[in-house]
Amino acid sequence: MSAENDDELLESSTGLCVQICKFTSIEEYDAIVRNAGHSMADFAKMLLKFLDNKAPNKTVPCLRRYAIELAIWMMESYDPFISFFKAAKLEKVLTQVAETSSDIENFHLFSGDVGVAKHPQSISSLVLRAKRLLL
């Protein structure tokens, strides 16, 4: 696999995590992550790494969106993650994401005959929601 394919797999996997988290509790997800040999803190650090990218990646335009959605889910599900993300300077990273967000990050991807549809929330509205949780 090429590095580009690895990025696409990472984006797809992160998007799948967003969907899984909608139907599981933080405790259930923690058990899944621990079973894979990691911790939720490792998972949170990975999300920060995705967000700390200085510019959106054209090959994986939804990766930062998914990372924000997962960070929001974590903070809403388990209050100690608010302190964790505060200490990790998530607010600063989110400001950078808002400043560098691209139009393509606000759209679902399309293929073949399937048209483009906007995500229900823009990147900037997700950033604002996450920042409110950090207050």
More confident residue, 130 or 105: 130
Instruction: Report pLDDT for 61.
Output: 78
Instruction: Report pLDDT for 70.
Output: 96
Task: Give the closest residue to 6 by CA, choosing from 66, 70, 63.
Answer: 63
The DSSP line for 29-47 is HHHHHHHTT--HHHHHHHH
Whether the predicted pLDDT of 18 surpasses 60: yes
pTM for the whole thing?
Answer: 0.84
Rounded Cα gap, residues 27 and 127, in angstroms: 25
Rounded Cα gap, residues 132 and 135, in angstroms: 5
Q: Which sequence spans correspond to the domains of the chain?
A: 3-134
Rounded Cα gap, residues 110 and 86, in angstroms: 35
Please state the rounded mean pLDDT for residues 3-30.
Answer: 87
Task: Return mean pLDDT, the chain.
Answer: 84
Read off the pLDDT of residues 55-114 as tens digits, 9 standing for 90 and up: 777 778 788 889 999 999 999 999 999 999 999 999 999 999 888 876 666 565 544 455
Residue 104 near residue 58 (C-beta atoms within 8 A): yes
DSSP tally for the chain: helices H, then strands E:
7, 0
